[in-house]
Structure 1
Amino acid sequence: MTVSANTQAILLLTARFGKSDSGANKPLTPKEYGRFAEWLRFQSLTPERLLSGDLQELLQGWQDKTVTVERVGALLDRGSALALSMEKWLRAGLWVMTRSAPDYPRRLKQHLRSDSPAVLFGCGNRALLNSGGLAVIGSRKVSQDDLVYSSRIGEMASNAGVSIVSGGARGVDETAMLGALGSEGIAVGVLADSLLRACSSGKYRRALMENNLVLVSPFNPEAGFNTGNAMARNKYIYCLADAALAIHSGKKGGTWSGAQEDLKRGWVPLWVKQTDDPE
């Protein structure tokens, strides 16, 4: 797989390649890149055009408090780091998708508009990102009954021809996905961390080979767990689905905040499993 110059430029502007990506080199957030990309379109400029020519001249007229010309230049000057990372990721079977790709998830664009991720990293059947389905979310630490219920939901979705969309974390997420895959169903995993490791995991190998699974992340494929990333990816799970089911949640944490955000934004209908658990 080759990566186009335009994709390389978008990666340089928005992706992290190491711990040094901070301060002036901090990659653009989805909101920041959305503003910048919109301005580039109005100027009839593509991101790859920024890789050649005089940046000050090309960006003449661009004014933004956080996305300065200096910051853009520093990000674009990370070509060596990009080359090393891409060689490793592509060799491991990962692919890269930008917002301009024809098969980019249309639901993300529909719900999030310019706040949708500029880049998605993934492995597996990328066509599944447009299949919709049922988002199943829940806590990592749950009762055995909730795990059995999660697995059963995955099986039922598979039997009904409905995809399971979840976060891949241990507990409810992973159990629902494996329940669907174990019944020859389809699953979409939106990961907050460790995509590279997950793509080589034995528990997903068969499903990836049979094109029944796609694992995707808007974050560096080698990133470790980060609470901020875990909270941020919740909206992508909801927005890739047609409806959502929350199986277990306390009154704080990722599942709770994600459900609250969906209810506030009205992305998809949300059902909640009844429970007698006071927590």
Structure 2
Amino acid sequence: MNIQNNLYSENTQAVLLLSTFFSKPKKGEARPLTAVEYGRFARWLHEFNYTPSSLFHQFDEVLSRWKDPKGKITAARLSEILGRKAAMGLALEKWQRAGVWVITRQDSEYPQLLKKQLRHISPPVFFGVGNKALLQKGGLAVIGSRGIDNIDEEFTQNIVIQAAQESINIVSGAARGVDETAMLASLNSGGTATGIMADSLLKAATASKWRKHLQNEQLVLISSFYPEAGFSVGNAMARNKYIYTAANAALVVRADEGKGGTWAGAKENNENQWVPLFVKQQSEASGNIALLARGAHPFELKKDSGLWLAEALSKVQVVKTSSPPSHSLNLFE
């Protein structure tokens, strides 16, 4: 039961208690802080020379000074979520047996590209399995709809095989469709992949399709949601920003205008100008057409052999969505 004391510092324990579910939430119980709430509270703690673990020893002092401008982070709420140490111990012990580890924003293994882009709204905690070193590798985010045809599947596989040949890490969401196709094609070609999951990390840790690649240290799977979390649309939408900001550039294979996670994520990336956005040009998908009209870079697969992908990706900058291009930019002709 004391595994959290053996493996994790007091500060990490405090961050976990403040920000994480340890089981399916029950009606009426206090909810852990959201990423935005935690960011607001953590900034205040730092400003007044406290740490999250100060709440274990100086709770009354801290709360006598803290006044949440939003009125959401109350003493009663903090007291209840900090009182879940037994639940945390049981959960951590179970997850650790499956190889799941924990990193917080203060840890050097935390994905630094993501942290630099999102700053105070970066997730306070990531749970993960696999090779932590890949979290610093950046790479190409490859994303798209769950429902894809043979043409999109072949396109995804071909571009990812090229990426593997150039040692470009693939970042994606591990969902069926484009995401899973991209990750498995990279791994099966000897490349690497970072999967940023919205749910079911614990199941993925032992899934046969990932197991070999985890053992070979080609793969890391992470989630900002507790490892047994089921699917929710809200979590999937929140996860989109982590896929983009953990990469150096992004490629949308297929999107539907106005709906779905792929469209929402691409739109959010353009609004925040996180990374250059490429979109598969030879597509009749409504989202692809709309994103290209909004300034995304048209992407064509180059048929010539050689190392061309990294150079092509590095030639472009983020384009503001308010300024669509006056001409077609095709880097792969």
Q: TM-score range by the shorter chain?
A: over 0.9
Q: Match of 1:86, as an amino acid?
A: L
Of 57, 64, 82, 1:60 maps to 64
Consecutive unaligned residues in structure 1, runs of 5 or more: none
CA contact (8 A) 1:168 1:174 kept: yes
Alignment of 1:1-279 (within 5 A): 2-20=7-25, 23=28, 25-53=30-58, 55-64=59-68, 65-251=71-257, 252-274=259-281, 275-277=283-285
CA contact (8 A) 1:21 1:27 kept: no
Larger Rg: 2
CA contact (8 A) 2:199 2:229 kept: yes
When normalised by structure 1's length, the TM-score is: 0.96
Cα separation, 2, equivalents of 1:127 and 1:21: 36
Cα separation, 1, equivalents of 2:11 and 2:217: 28
Q: Match of 2:273, as an amino acid?
A: G
Q: Match of 1:260, as an amino acid?
A: K
Superposition RMSD on alpha carbons, in Å? 1.4
When normalised by structure 2's length, the TM-score is: 0.81
TM-superposition CA deviations, 1:210-241 (whole Å, max 9, x none): 11110000001101110000011000000000
How many residues are paired up? 278
Deviation at 1:24, TM superposition (A): 5.4
* Percent identity between the two aligned chains: 51
Consecutive unaligned residues in structure 2, runs of 5 or more: 1-5, 288-333
| Structure 1 ranges of 4+ moved more than 3 A | 20-24
Compare relative contact order (CA 8 Å, sep 6+) and give the higher one, 1 or 2: 1
Cα separation, 2, equivalents of 1:248 and 1:127: 29
Cα separation, 2, equivalents of 1:21 and 1:213: 34
TM-superposition CA deviations, 1:147-188 (whole Å, max 9, x none): 121122221110011000000000000000001000110100
Describe the shift of the 1:57–1:160 C-alpha distance in structure 2 as closer, same or farther (beyond 3 A): same
Cα separation, 2, equivalents of 1:60 and 1:153: 56
Q: Match of 1:17, as an amino acid?
A: F
